[in-house]
Amino acid sequence: EVTCTRVNGTARVGFSTMAAGLTLGTCAHGFGYGGTAKKSHAGKFEDYGVTYGQGDTVGCMLDAPSGTISFSVNGEDMGPAFA
């Protein structure tokens, strides 16, 4: 989990490999969820979840056996983002 204490623009959280670039979710090696309520992978952005920003706590969950990534905002599960 991460709590957004100060946001100067758009925050994005998620997972990546060491081969990923610094802009999470814009290459094939990263999966992201942004404060604009978009999930991203390989440069493709799709509606997902709710918007978040300063004061919100965002959780990132990886279920390795099922290959599923999901996120939460302030304890509310947003459901599977990537499977």
Q: Mind listing the pLDDT tens digit for each residue in 31-61? A: 999 999 999 999 999 999 999 999 999 999 9
Mean confidence (pLDDT) of the chain: 94
Rounded distance between C-alpha atoms, residue 58 and residue 77, angstroms: 10
pLDDT at residue 43, rounded to an integer? 95
pLDDT at residue 25, rounded to an integer? 94
Q: How many CB atoms lie within 10 A of CB 9?
A: 6
Cα 59 to chain center, whole Å? 8
**Positive/negative CA dihedral, 77, 79, 82, 83:** positive
